[in-house]
Amino acid sequence: QSVLTQPPSVSAAPGQKVTISCSGSSSNIGNNVVSWYQQLPGRAPKLLIYDSDKRLSGIPDRFSGSRSGTSATLGITGLQTGDEADYYCGTWDNSLTTYVFGTGTEVAVL
């Protein structure tokens, strides 16, 4: 059972915006930076956001990340069918001394 909680799924129409939350604690998100990963069906995960709010080179500015307290958020604007994927947050947990991933969120474009 993951220590980072995400909603199982979010959905919106093409062109709309979705946000994905990642809820943790002081031992992980509260004191460490967060990364966000996209996993398209049948593909390897791909890094989108690192250090909580920095986009990897080549990632469209439709993707954004933020962190506040013990939670982090991934935003996707201008939703496209190609954005349909599973999204995971991840960070280090100081108490567990492990890297932890979120439970994962499936994004559907209606």
Partner 1 sequence: EVQLVESGGGLVQPGGSLKLVCAASGFNFSYYWMSWVRQAPGKGPEWVASINQDETVRYFVDSVKGRFTTSRDNAKDSLFLQMSSLRVDDTAIYYCFCPRVGWGQGTPVIVSS
Q: Which residues bind partner 1 (CB under 8 A)?
A: 2, 35, 37, 44-47, 50-51, 56, 86, 88, 90-91, 97-101, 103-104
Per-residue buried b or exposed e for 12-36, using 16+ beta carbons within 10 Å of the residue's own CB: beeeeebebbbbbbebbbeebbbbb
CB of 88 to partner 1, least distance (A): 6
CB of 14 to partner 1, least distance (A): 26
Cβ-based nearer residue to partner 1, 63 or 88: 88
Cβ-based nearer residue to partner 1, 51 or 78: 51
Tell me the DSSP string of 29-68. GGGS--EEEEE-TTS--EEEEETTTEEPTT--TTEEEEEE
Cβ-based nearer residue to partner 1, 45 or 75: 45
**What's the length of the chain?**
110
CB of 56 to partner 1, least distance (A): 7
